[in-house]
Amino acid sequence: MLEVSGLTKRFGGFAAVSNVSFRLAEGEILGLIGPNGSGKSTTFNVVAGLYAPTSGSVRFLGEEIGALPPAAVCHRGIARTFQIPRPFRRLSLLENVALAAFYGRGEHPPRAKAWEMAKDALALVKLPTHPAARVDGLGAAGLKKLELARALATQPKVLLADESLGGLDEQEMEQAADMLAMIRRERGVSVVWVEHIMGALMRVVDRCIVLDHGEVIAAGKPQDVARDPRVIEVYLGTDASAVQAVTDARVA
Ligand code: ADP
Ligand code: MG
């Protein structure tokens, strides 16, 4: 569905992403992992149209989309969540998601339909669909769910999920991982899931690729990647929970 080849993104002389290639198959959940600053969000930002690639290509369903602006990418069926949620705080939950439903497709759906799509997306992520439900009072887990609902309301074929586990406790992380698996199952959405910690992600992804300093250092099935000496080296000393995840995966 999605094919990124030889993708490089430079900021001045600094290569945030260097010659990165990966493919996402239909119905797949692909994990994109790597320590902080390894180029994960930048990769998303290029795919989603926020930045044009310095070089390389992004193809979606056979079409080159590397030069398209964000709205056009979304209209083609690629939705993304942001690492740092920034909802419209004065709007209700439902209004936040209805905006995505209304503007996220090339053609605006009828308004009544947009409300339906928004309720549907909220229900899928298990947030209240009542028109009076507010953004205020949502904790980290609720805000991450709202990000997912806003992305899903655009009826994507591909979901780019950036750090869905950030700021969550252990139990919330497991629930968030299950939710991405459920979204794939219920909606047939293919997912690229970015995370700097491996933990809960490793259980759910079909394959993962590992970035370090903007380069792909490993790719394959989660259990193989977790045993890869370069991956272990990159994670040792950067993130204690990742070391634990590597250890757990080796035991498994
Ligand atoms: P990750 O999401 O893996 O934590 P990022 O893709 O956000 O990493 O960042 C990769 C590197 O690129 C970091 O060193 C970051 O400081 C740098 N970077 C990201 N965006 C910009 C930008 N707009 N301008 C300059 N440097 C950037
Ligand atoms: Mg990031």
Q: Where are the domains of the chain?
A: 85-150
Quick check: 44 pLDDT over 80? Answer: yes
| pLDDT for res 146 | 96
Q: How far is the CA of 208 from the centre of ligand 2 (A)?
A: 16
Q: Is the dihedral of CA 190, 195, 200, 201 positive or negative?
A: positive
Best probe residue, ligand 1, of 10, 33, 40, 42 (max atoms within 8 Å of C-beta): 42
Q: Tell me the whole-structure pTM to 2 decimals.
A: 0.91
Quick check: 151 pLDDT over 60? Answer: yes
Q: What is the mean pLDDT of residues 183-202?
A: 92
| pLDDT for res 86 | 94
Ligand 1 contact via 164 beta carbon (within 6 Å): no
Query: Which of 240 and 164 is assigned the larger pLDDT?
Result: 164
Question: 23 falls in which pLDDT band (50, 70, 90)?
Answer: very high
Q: How far is the CA of 73 from the centre of ligand 2 (A)?
A: 20
| pLDDT for res 247 | 59
Dihedral pair phi/psi, residue 110, rounded to 5°: -55, 150
Q: How far is the CA of 120 from the centre of ligand 1 (A)?
A: 34
Quick check: 252 pLDDT over 80? Answer: no
Ligand 1 contact via 35 beta carbon (within 6 Å): no
Question: 199 falls in which pLDDT band (50, 70, 90)?
Answer: confident
Radius of gyration of the chain (CA): 18
**Nearest bound ligand to the CA of residue 42:** 1
Query: Which of 235 and 23 is assigned the larger pLDDT?
Result: 23
Ligand 1 contact via 16 beta carbon (within 6 Å): yes
| pLDDT for res 85 | 93
| pLDDT for res 242 | 57
For 68-115, the pLDDT digits (tens) are 999 999 999 999 999 999 999 999 999 999 999 999 988 999 999 999
Q: What are the residues whose beta carbon lies below 5 Å from ligand 2 (ion)?
A: 40-41, 83
Ligand 1 contact via 41 beta carbon (within 6 Å): yes
Atom 5 (ligand 1): residue with closest C-alpha? 39
With a pLDDT cut of 90, the percent of the chain lying above it is 79
- 10's CB contacts (< 8 A; 6+ apart) are 16, 54
| pLDDT for res 9 | 98
Q: What is the mean pLDDT of residues 147-156?
A: 97
Question: 238 falls in which pLDDT band (50, 70, 90)?
Answer: low
| pLDDT for res 41 | 95
Nearest Cα residue to 147 out of 71, 79, 70: 79
Q: How far is the CA of 55 from the centre of ligand 1 (A)?
A: 17
| pLDDT for res 251 | 52
Distances (CA, A) of 128 to 94, 121, 131: 8, 10, 9
Q: How far is the CA of 43 from the centre of ligand 1 (A)?
A: 9
What's at 228, amino acid-wise?
A: D
